[in-house]
Amino acid sequence: MQYKRILLKLSGEALMGERQYGIDPKRLSEYAQEVKQIVDKGIQVAIVIGGGNIFRGVAGASNGMDRVQGDHMGMLATVINGLALQSALEDAGAQTRLQSAIQINEVAEPFIRRRALRHLEKGRVVIFGGGTGNPYFTTDSAAVLRAIEIEADVILKGTRVDGIYTADPEKDKNATKFDFITFDDVLKKGLKVMDTTAFTLSQENELPIIVFDMNKQGNLLKVMEGENIGTIVNL
């Protein structure tokens, strides 16, 4: 295996599956099975999940809601998704811990770095909910921040597209895929991988990002085994 400890970033929208909103139990179960596969290979897995399938702070703000209030609602949405993912992972036979950046002691542990590291060392999947705990920061930023804190080898960004393209492949048939691209080239070409704050933080800490299609069965394991799946962003 190429990596010993990874952080998997999933969007909230990914959990909708074929639905218009909310959580698709079938998609959740598929993701849990994929993660369990790599845990069984001895890889330490942490997960950060978005909340866009339930609520987006930015969308709320654009409709006149207070941005800070909206972002706090979005953080709670990520905790709901974290609980759902925790349940699915445990059904799949994985041991898990949910840690939240905002205190909800009845449903999740507070985020404590040393405790998170200990869970990972014991083979537990650690789900980080509540974003960074601060408004104005996305779950992309939370993913990079947590990955740096737990000393992950790589961030895996699971999307519905199989990598980074010259243009949106769903809109432009002539778009070509990059197998490998540097941080600098992503910025020069104006490609969208993560929001700027998250991307810069990853670059400054020399933390590679792999963008891949999480919805194709077996892809997560293939990435772990070093197969040429998705796009690697590195220095």
Binding residues: 9-12, 51-52, 56, 71, 132-139, 159, 165, 168
Residues within the annotated binding site for ATP? 9-12, 52, 56, 159, 165, 168
How far apart are the C-alpha atoms of 211 and 229, rounded to whole Å? 9
Residues within the annotated binding site for UMP? 51, 71, 132-139
User: What is the DSSP-derived secondary structure letter of residue 13?
Assistant: G
User: What's the N-to-C CA distance of the chain in angstroms?
Assistant: 21
Q: Residue 178: how many CB atoms within 10 A of its CB? A: 19
The residue with tokens 């921040």 is: 145
Using the CB atoms, write b or e for 124-159: b if 16+ within 10 Å. bbbbbbbbbbebebbbbbbbbbbbbebebbbbbbbb
